């Protein structure tokens, strides 16, 4: 329903117009990254700062829409049970590498994932965690399947 009201002063129509334009623009922008808990991990001999995605919403969003990561920074996905989980890169413009991790903190397998691709990258055995880092980070730091990760929740 459209109605009328008395407008006094020039600033009211200007504020209305700005609110209308900003509201319309925000509908096309990705939602701001939610604030997730952060923990410190030890991956082999390397310290890592990881955002923790431990619920369905944060695991589904992951690192979508991110353009970069700080050095030695990643995202740890924590699952409620061990299973053979798969990941893809929909809406993720950042090239990433992923480590699938057992409940004991041992890396099961690693995979490099291409930006925006829908190719599935899956754990080769039941995993409880997955850690995404900047592509090439694991290789650069000599982290391989069998390497241990400490500090996991």
Query: What is the per-residue burial (b if ≥16 Cβ within 10 Å, else e) of 73-84?
Result: ebbbbbbeeeee
**Tens of pLDDT along 107-144?**
999 999 999 999 999 999 999 999 999 999 999 999 99
Choose among 42, 105, 102: nearest CA to 74: 42
Q: Decide if pLDDT at 23 tops 50.
A: no
CA distance readout (Å), 63 to 33, 58, 97: 9, 9, 12
**Tens of pLDDT along 46-87?**
999 999 999 999 999 999 999 999 999 999 999 999 999 999
Give me the sign of the Cα torsion angle 149, 117, 68, 79: negative
Give me the sign of the Cα torsion angle 91, 54, 101, 136: positive
CATH level 2 (architecture), domain 38-150: Sandwich (2.60)
Lowest mean pLDDT among 2-6, 8-12, 100-104, 130-134: 2-6
Report the alpha-carbon distance of residue 148 to residue 50 in Å, rounded: 16
Q: pTM, whole model, 2 decimals?
A: 0.78
Q: What is the mean pLDDT of residues 79-107?
A: 98
Report the alpha-carbon distance of residue 100 to residue 116 in Å, rounded: 20
Using alpha carbons only, what angle is made at residue 125 by residues 119 and 127, rounded to the nearest 5 degrees?
Answer: 85
| Residue 77 DSSP SS3 | strand
């Amino acid at each position: 329903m459209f109605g009328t009201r008395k407008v006094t002063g020039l600033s009211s129509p200007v504020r209305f117009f700005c609110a209308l334009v900003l509201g319309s623009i925000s509908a096309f922008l990705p939602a701001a990254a939610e604030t997730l808990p952060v923990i410190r991990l030890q991956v082999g001999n390397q310290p890592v700062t990881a955002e923790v995605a431990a619920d369905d919403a944060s695991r589904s969003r992951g690192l979508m829409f991110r353009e970069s990561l700080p050095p030695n920074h990643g995202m740890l996905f924590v699952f409620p049970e061990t299973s053979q989980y798969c990941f893809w890169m929909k809406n993720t413009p950042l090239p990433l590498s992923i480590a699938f991790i057992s409940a004991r903190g041992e890396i099961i397998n690693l995979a490099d994932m291409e930006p925006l691709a829908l190719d599935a990258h899956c754990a080769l055995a039941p995993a409880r965690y997955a850690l995404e880092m900047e592509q090439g980070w694991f290789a650069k730091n000599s982290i391989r399947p069998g390497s241990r990760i400490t500090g996991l929740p």
